[in-house]
Amino acid sequence: MAELKEVLLLAAAEAGKIIQFYFNGTFAVNNKGTVNNLVTEVDQMSEDKIIAVIREHFPDHSIISEEVGELKKDSDYEWIIDPIDGTVNFAHGIPICCVSIALTYKGDLQLGAVFNPMMNELFFAEKGKGATLNGIPIGVSKKTDFKKACLVTGFPYKWPETHEHPIKVFERFVMEGLPIRRLGSAAIDLCWVACGRFDGFWEYNLSSWDVAAGYLIVLEAGGKVTNFQGSPYDVFNRETLATNGFIHQAMLDAIHNKRGDN
């Protein structure tokens, strides 16, 4: 596992150098399907570098990455990569974006790293060994009073097919009088739950590369992650609820409008 960790951290660092070099610079920007679902040439450069680092050391491992899709190999190891999570932020010069890399073995998450080079923050977790920020152990908040929680969310580019519009769910949290932020990077949102800056996070329609590393980091920091039914979570779920654990049921109740008609 030591070599796998070393390669994961090297890939994150090398991709981070690319992201930082081009931040607030000039680069090509395109869209994927919808006008504001952006991809830049820096996403592709970051992805190329990460895959090159992995392939140099583990050429037989499988890879899932946002831009190239699935690169299957006959291997029990699979890397899950988001070369820039928060591309819209990056393209607009907003320094809340990161590289996110996770590693699974037989489908089980083992390692995760989320690196924001503009803030010089590296979140890391190894299964069973806790989570760190720049090498210092982190833990979720201890807040138990939902009315005093600070939350974070995001909105998808394409609204999910649910019985209730996500804006209605958002409205219920707002009507509770809670401070709610939208940072534009699910990976960072999860990490900021893990280190106690936020008490809870929810979002629809995320992809595995958005959440894999952050999910492990939250768990290893002592938090709880489920879908919106409260059921066990995996990175291919389309509903993500991550909390410090203490306010988890209250957030589920708000999502399903069980806290009264707000």
State yes or no: pLDDT of 180 exceeds 60.
yes
Of 89, 104, 137, the domain-final residue: 137
Does 158 lie in the same domain as 229? yes
pLDDT confidence of residue 153:
96
Torsion of Cα atoms, 31 then 35 then 37 then 42, to 10°: 30
Domain that holds residue 243: 146-255
Across the chain, the runs of DSSP E, i.e. the strands, are 29-32, 34-40, 62-65, 69-71, 77-85, 98-105, 108-116, 121-126, 131-133, 136-137, 151-153, 180-181, 200-204, 224-226, 239-243
Inter-residue contact 63 to 70 (CB < 8 Å): yes
d(CA 127, CA 112): 9
pLDDT confidence of residue 262:
45
Please count the structural domains in the chain. Answer: 2
Does 129 lie in the same domain as 208? no
* Residue 235 covered by a domain: yes
Give me the CATH number covering residue 75: 3.30.540.10
* Residue 261 covered by a domain: no
* Residue 260 covered by a domain: no
Of 117, 137, 157, the domain-final residue: 137
Q: Is the pTM of this model over 0.75?
A: yes
Q: What percent of the chain has pLDDT above 90? A: 73
Does 111 lie in the same domain as 46? yes
Neighbours of 120 (CB within 10 A): 10
d(CA 141, CA 159): 30
pLDDT tens-digit map of 67-115: 788 788 889 999 999 999 999 999 999 999 999 999 999 999 999 999 9
pLDDT tens-digit map of 16-51: 999 999 998 877 777 766 655 667 889 899 999 999
Does 61 lie in the same domain as 28? yes
